[in-house]
Amino acid sequence: MQQVKAVVALAKGAPVEVVTINVPDPGPGEAVVKVQACGVCHTDLHYREGGINDDFPFLLGHEAAGVVEAVGPDVTSVAPGDFVVLNWRAVCGNCRACDRGEPWYCFATHNATQKMTLEDGTELSPALGIGAFAEKTLVAAGQCTKVDPSARAAAVGLLGCGVMAGLGAAINTGNVGRGSTVAVIGCGGVGMAAIAGSALAGAARIIAVDVDDRKLELARSMGATHTVNSKEVDAVEAIRSLTPPPDGTGHEGGADVVIDAVGRPETWKQAFYARDLAGTVVLVGVPTPDMKVPDIPLIDVFGRGGSLKSSWYGDCLPSRDFPMLVDLYQQGRLDLDAFVSEEIGLGDVEAAFDTMHAGGVLRSVVVL
């Protein structure tokens, strides 16, 4: 066991604190990772506000890269010294989803078996089974994905959650491909990655929607071809006018794929109506438990056809996707540096939540 500094949410809504925690030595199937960088994701704030569950205290942070320090006796997939991006989808390999060849839906993903604790022995709940706003963290070995060690930790660590969720919402869940029209509602780290992913996949039109003009300006540099400020104009009409139907068909038009990267009833409703007939809605923003499906006539669900999907972690498979995306980054084809708005210390996470609310950043990244 060793003691390290970490950022913990002790009680619902209370500011996070840097405290000392106990990290057990790795047991069977586990690894201890020395964290080098960890991004601040909106989901960390959801945890702190009690929006995920009530299992306080939480050890926050889950978009991280670092170096494996020690592994349990039976671990062969990684070794001390390996540079890894941490993932929250260590697939089991033998549940029904894994068996049918869809491991991104794995029902039994692995996390560390032992618990990290506060100094007094209180067990911590690590955010998404990771907990990486910490000098070191204990995870399942399968949560460590080896990538090119020459890559910048602050940038590639973001693949561990939000950036992968956004890229995958477009490429995997939405099946965006060459010539697709796409609209992305909400251009934070997740939405901006959906824009970058759509550009990477060859989408013909990429419409960025946000309520903040600074985000829209940045969206253009990420590959958006059009921008819509939905505080000023009606998002559904604006998207439809940019994606008109072929002449004479008489329907309203809309994008092939609309991605809701906010996760609120009103943005999901916009996504529902802003897609073309038989188009796809992808919900990647995470709603809070009190939110309800918006009031939509069932005949509209039937009549518009298409698919209404949710995207968990961009339907990614870390072992397949992380090394490939890191290679694209290293080749200059995926600008992960653009997602790193600022580098901060462990003590700055609470302030980073305020900065997130103020809207000035894509990602504040804790660098250790």
3-class state of residue 228 by DSSP: strand
Q: How many CA atoms lie within 13 A of 195 on its CB side?
A: 33
Residues 6+ apart with CB under 8 A from 84: 33, 65, 66, 67, 68, 78, 144, 145, 146, 147
Distance in angstroms (rounded) separating the CA atoms of residues 72 and 348: 32
| Residue 48 vs 275, nearer CB to Zn ion | 48
Q: How many residues bind ligand NAD (CB under 6 A)?
A: 32
Length of the chain measured in residues = 368
| Residue 29 vs 166, nearer CB to ligand NAD | 166
95 is a contact residue toward Zn ion (CB under 5 A): yes
Q: How many CB atoms lie within 10 A of CB 226?
A: 18
Binding mask 132-171 for Zn ion (x = CB under 5 A): -----------------------------xx---------
Residues 6+ apart with CB under 8 A from 27: 72, 73, 113, 114
| Residue 108 vs 233, nearer CB to Zn ion | 108
Please answer whether residues 126 and 116 qualify as being in contact, where contact means their C-beta atoms are separated by less than 8 angstroms: yes
211 is a contact residue toward ligand NAD (CB under 6 A): yes
For residue 179, the minimal CB distance to ligand NAD (Å) is 26
Enumerate residues 19-58 that contact ligand NAD by CB under 6 A. Answer: 41-43, 46
| Residue 171 vs 261, nearer CB to ligand NAD | 261
340 is a contact residue toward ligand NAD (CB under 6 A): no
106 is a contact residue toward ligand NAD (CB under 6 A): no
92 is a contact residue toward Zn ion (CB under 5 A): yes
Q: How many CA atoms lie within 13 A of 169 on its CB side?
A: 38
Distance in angstroms (rounded) separating the CA atoms of residues 123 and 138: 13
For residue 113, the minimal CB distance to ligand NAD (Å) is 24
267 binds, among Zn ion, ligand NAD, none (CB under 5 to 8 A by kind): ligand NAD
Which helix (H) or strand (E) segment holds residue 162: the answer is: helix 162-168
Binding mask 99-118 for Zn ion (x = CB under 5 A): -------x-x----------
Tokens representing 335 are: 């600008």
| Residue 26 vs 189, nearer CB to Zn ion | 189
Contact set with ligand NAD (CB under 6 A): 41-43, 46, 161-162, 165, 185-191, 209-212, 215, 230, 261-263, 267, 284-286, 311-313, 356, 359
